Amino acid sequence: MKAVKINEGIHCLPVNLSSYKLFEGMWPIPNGISINAYVVQGEKTAMIDLVEDVDDKPADLEAELRSISLQAADIDYLILNHMEPDHTGWLGTFHEQNPGLAIYTTTKAANLLKSFYGIEQNVHVLKDGDTLDLGAGKVLHFYETPNIHWPETMMTFEESSGTLFSCDAFGSYGTLNNVYFDDQLSTEQHDFFINEALRYYANIVASFSTFVTRGIKKLAGLDVKIIAPSHGIIWRENPQAIIDSYQRFAGYMNGPAEPEVTVVWSSMYGNTERLVNNIVQGVRSEGLPVHVHRVPEEHVGVILASVWKSAGLIVGMPTYEYEMFPPMAWALDMFRRKKILNKKVLRFGSAGWSGGAQKELTALTEKLKWDFLEPIEWMGAPTDTEMQLALSQGKKLAQEVKDFCAG
């Protein structure tokens, strides 16, 4: 690949990770993901972030540098917006190739720089609002945006072009292959990146939504013409589109989210499964979209996006040895970790021979501010009574979701 020109003196150096890799060791990326580094050239040259040292990806980055007649030794300044290893994994080797490199980053990042890579010399600690003049009209402005999504994170704004290098904010899953900007996307490709932005958000950023809202407000006064994230497409036709999307995603935490219902269910021998169709029918009778996912067949990394954007949640699971069915327990614990808050919720499932799943569910979700309907639970196999309850309780949940979203 060659470096991609964004503006005069500004290039993106995207490197694609293949789909087989679990991002952060746990999130499926069937469509891969790009890691975007950037170069800004004035009289001096700054590089913004690097790449993970995996699968010869640094060689790809070096080739992109050569395509604009640069190598590691030509970089005057390295700007580290974020210390996570997908953006800094190659730093040790890069620093060996350019030991005189000046590194600019936040106070907390400087501490991590020492911990991860043992680098302490020629590290310049930035304060919020500091600038770095590269000459030839290129001026970088630095803004601390903590907890989007690590505590040391910042964003870099290039003044003359209006380019915001936003690090992990405004990013998405998906590789970049000959299409790099939003104005090059077909309608289907645009929808793909927005959907992958939601899934990326739900997996990586969701629990930090309060900080996302703060960061957007903090940067509102900038004349942003281009958003250049560390993952995914570059937004130059309508950068406000991805800002608005992230603002909306962040708002789902405190609710209400979208007037939709997500059903997440699991079953051992089919007794819990028998209610699923009636549950869905009850929801659809009120005209609401409904999304259905089965655990563990579907990965929680996919399910999270649906649950995050839906104001209604229906959980179907049997009791297993006096507690929740383990695959569902893992999914629900991830909902807790990602702060899936303020949902209208219905639970259904076979109590087996003993019951106990409902008790564990209540304890696990006590801080999530979920508003529960009366659960549907039975011993052994469901009867016609439970089948009818599935219809009526599904319908009732949909009605409550509509009222919730209407305010």
CATH of 4-251, one of 3.30.565.10, 3.60.15.10, 3.40.50.2300, 3.40.50.970: 3.60.15.10
Q: Hey, what are 240's tokens?
A: 């406000």
* Ramachandran class of 377: left when φ > 0, alpha when ψ lies in -120 to 50, beta otherwise: beta
Query: Which fold, 261-401?
Result: Rossmann fold (3.40.50)
pLDDT in tens, 195-248: 999 999 999 999 999 999 999 999 999 999 999 999 999 999 999 999 999 999
Answering whether pTM is above 0.85, one says: yes
Beta bridge partners of 214: none
DSSP 179: -
Residue 125 host element (H or E): strand 123-126
pLDDT in tens, 139-172: 999 999 999 999 999 999 999 999 999 999 999 9
Q: What is the pLDDT of residue 173?
A: 97
Domain coordinates of the chain in residue numbers?
Answer: 4-251, 261-401
Q: How far apart are CA 17 and CA 323, in angstroms?
A: 39
Closest CA to 286 of 255, 323, 311: 311
Angle at 359 between CA 353 and CA 360, to 5 degrees: 100
Q: What separation in angstroms does the CA of 83 have from each of 152, 181, 234?
A: 8, 25, 21
Q: What is the pLDDT of residue 354?
A: 84
pLDDT in tens, 289-321: 999 999 999 999 999 999 999 999 999 999 999
Residue 12 host element (H or E): strand 10-17
Walking along the chain (407 residues) 10 residues at a time, the average pLDDT comes out as 95 90 91 97 98 94 98 98 97 96 97 96 97 98 97 97 98 95 96 96 97 96 97 96 96 96 97 98 98 97 97 97 95 97 98 89 95 96 97 98 96
Q: What is the pLDDT of residue 21?
A: 77
**To which residue do tokens 């000959």 refer?**
178
Phi–psi pair at 37, nearest 5 degrees:
-100, 165
